[in-house]
Amino acid sequence: MKALVPALGRGGILLIREASPLDYLRFILALLYIPRPNIVYTLAAMKYSFSYTALTAAVAVTSVFAAPAVVKKRAACTSAVTLSGDSNPFADNTLYANSYYANEITAAIGNMTDATLIAQAQKVAEVGSFKWIDTISVIPTIDAMIKDVPCGEIIGLVIYDLPGRDCAAKASNGELAVGEIERYKTEYIDPIAAIIADNPNTAIALIIEPDSLPNLVTNIDLTTCQDSADGYEEGVAYALEQLNLPNVVMYVDAGHGGWLGWNDNLQPGAEGLAKVYKAAGSPSQVRGIATNIAGWNAWQMVPGEFENDADGQYNACQDEDRYVTIFGEALAAAGHPNHAIVDTGRNAVQGLRLEWGDWCNVDGAGFGVRPTSETGNELADAFVWGKPGGESDGTSDTTATRYDSFCGLADAFQPSPEAGAWHQAYFEMLLKNAVPQF
């Protein structure tokens, strides 16, 4: 008797080939006893097909069928979660692998043929990462995502829609114009706060407005940043105040060591963050800062990637470990919480950038250390994946409205799509260069 030979085809179709009529009968009878996930089973040697509900796409390869083991997902918390700015939320909670990123990876796998890369990509889909709320239209999608978080896990969300967003670059310009602070409050922050308040049983970590306050320290000479300054400070303060909920912990973006780590930027940077924190009423759920978000800096590297440059002597924060410690001291002196989370999502490979400030789709990068609270630095709460690897930093199309020259540099991967769009070739590169490998 011939054995059933299963093969998973495109679109999740399980093909059964080279089976005898008796095999087909046994196969159909077995399905009556083995519940399985919504997959279309096709009897390839015959002109029949049917749908059946199932739990997995696995089928035994002999005439004897056995039900696969079912991995039961942990349930959501049944009581309210209470977090505190005084303790590390990642010590007892693992970063949630959100469905949006997992779906992006599933779609990417459909465009891959290398079996090794496919297996690695499937593992990436299980890694926790932050979901960016970068437009008002994204807000309605986060409720279901928050409700899906199992107890013992914490969902990461990035608040990112200030008026005049990304004042020092073009690639990530936002939907709200300078001066539209009331829209930011009523159409963006307030609905997010309402959704979070409606889900008190879920632990939530928020990264607050990447690049905004650091730009007011180093790029305030630009007219665009001057115009955006008041809105940035008012907007971030409002976000901190309204999102100060018991099941939330917040980390305000603080750039990275190559940004605010310069000797002349440490104190102004810390005081700038502290000013906004105090304007918000010193919210109890602010834990500290987020560093290296969507960045490339190493956690520990001696000498640092640019430490031997002529101006290296003016920056003691040559890796993020040193930055968290040194800037943390400045934050404490300024009256701002100083614990940190650090993005290690794409920082596996060093020595790729021509200049420290090169930030767009760095060529040759790889997935870095997976999220963990084991950092070795008492001020660093966790390594996280803040930027979902595979989503572009910006387009390399020089004719595009949002083209930024950094995305056309020699150390930037080209061609690349618009910021936030899926970048298949870049994702596969991150897989190949991951350290540690998946």
Task: Give yes or no: residues 379 and 284 share one domain.
Answer: yes
At 153, list the tokens.
């896990």
| Confidence bin at 8 (pLDDT 50/70/90) | very low
24: pLDDT strictly greater than 50: no
At 156, list the tokens.
């990461």
More confident residue, 297 or 62: 297
Task: Give yes or no: residues 326 and 369 share one domain.
Answer: yes
Task: Give yes or no: residues 59 and 113 share one domain.
Answer: no
66: pLDDT strictly greater than 90: no
78 part of a folded domain: no
**What is the rounded CA–CA span in Å between residue 138 and residue 145?**
11
Task: Give yes or no: residues 127 and 55 share one domain.
Answer: no
Beta strands in 160-294 (DSSP E): 203-208, 248-253, 286-291
135: pLDDT strictly greater than 50: yes
| Confidence bin at 173 (pLDDT 50/70/90) | confident
Contact 349, 365 (CB under 8 A): yes
| Confidence bin at 117 (pLDDT 50/70/90) | very high
**Range with the lowest mean pLDDT among 23-37, 97-111, 138-152, 302-316?**
23-37
Contact 19, 36 (CB under 8 A): no
Contact 213, 167 (CB under 8 A): no
pTM for the model stands at 0.84
Contact 198, 147 (CB under 8 A): no
Choose among 16, 17, 55, 18: nearest CA to 39.
55
The secondary element (H helix, E strand) that includes residue 343 is: strand 339-343
The secondary element (H helix, E strand) that includes residue 210 is: none
Q: Structurally, how many domains does the chain consist of?
A: 2
419 part of a folded domain: yes
69: pLDDT strictly greater than 70: no
Burial 195-230 (b: 16+ CB within 10 A, else e): bbeebeebbbbbbbbbbbbbbbbbbbeeebbeebbe
87 part of a folded domain: no
DSSP string of 252-289, one letter each residue: EE---TTTT-BHHHHHHHHHHHHHHHHHTT--TTEEEE
Residues whose CB is less than 8 angstroms from the CB of residue 203 and which lie 6 or more positions away in sequence, other chains included: 77, 81, 83, 89, 93, 149, 153, 154, 155, 247
Task: Give yes or no: residues 65 and 99 share one domain.
Answer: no
399 part of a folded domain: yes
3 part of a folded domain: yes
Residues whose CB is less than 8 angstroms from the CB of residue 27 and which lie 6 or more positions away in sequence, other chains included: 4, 16, 19, 43, 59, 65
The DSSP symbol for 328 reads H
Peptide linkage before 163 cis (omega within 30 of 0): no
Render pLDDT for 300-324 as a digit per residue (tens, 0 to 9).
999 999 999 999 999 999 999 999 9
Which residue in the list 161, 166, 253, 319 is annotated as catalytic?
166
30: pLDDT strictly greater than 70: no
Task: Give yes or no: residues 207 and 122 share one domain.
Answer: yes
Question: Considering the chain, what is the average pLDDT of its residues?
Answer: 88
Which residue in the list 134, 161, 211, 393 is annotated as catalytic?
211
Q: Note the pLDDT of residue 171.
A: 83
Task: Give yes or no: residues 66 and 120 share one domain.
Answer: no
Contact 188, 236 (CB under 8 A): no
Task: Give yes or no: residues 122 and 59 share one domain.
Answer: no
42 part of a folded domain: yes
12: pLDDT strictly greater than 90: no
313 part of a folded domain: yes
- Give the domain-ending residue among 12, 40, 72: 72
For the question of residue 166 being annotated catalytic, the response is yes
Q: Note the pLDDT of residue 170.
A: 86
Task: Give yes or no: residues 243 and 325 share one domain.
Answer: yes
Question: What is the dihedral angle through the alpha carbons of 95, 365, 359, 377, rounded to the nearest 10 degrees?
Answer: 50
**What is the rounded CA–CA span in Å between residue 318 and residue 339?**
18
**What is the rounded CA–CA span in Å between residue 419 and residue 394?**
4
Whichever domain contains 103, its CATH number is 3.20.20.40
275 part of a folded domain: yes
Choose among 320, 363, 315: nearest CA to 341.
320
**What is the rounded CA–CA span in Å between residue 420 and residue 115?**
27
Task: Give yes or no: residues 302 and 218 share one domain.
Answer: yes
Q: How remote is the C-alpha of 169 from its chain's centroid?
A: 21
For the question of residue 211 being annotated catalytic, the response is yes
Q: Which domain holds residue 393?
A: 94-432
| Confidence bin at 72 (pLDDT 50/70/90) | low
Task: Give yes or no: residues 239 and 381 share one domain.
Answer: yes
Q: Note the pLDDT of residue 172.
A: 80
Task: Give yes or no: residues 36 and 146 share one domain.
Answer: no
User: What mean pLDDT do residues 353-367 have?
Assistant: 98
74: pLDDT strictly greater than 90: no
Render pLDDT for 248-277 as a digit per residue (tens, 0 to 9).
999 999 999 999 999 999 999 999 999 999
102: pLDDT strictly greater than 60: yes
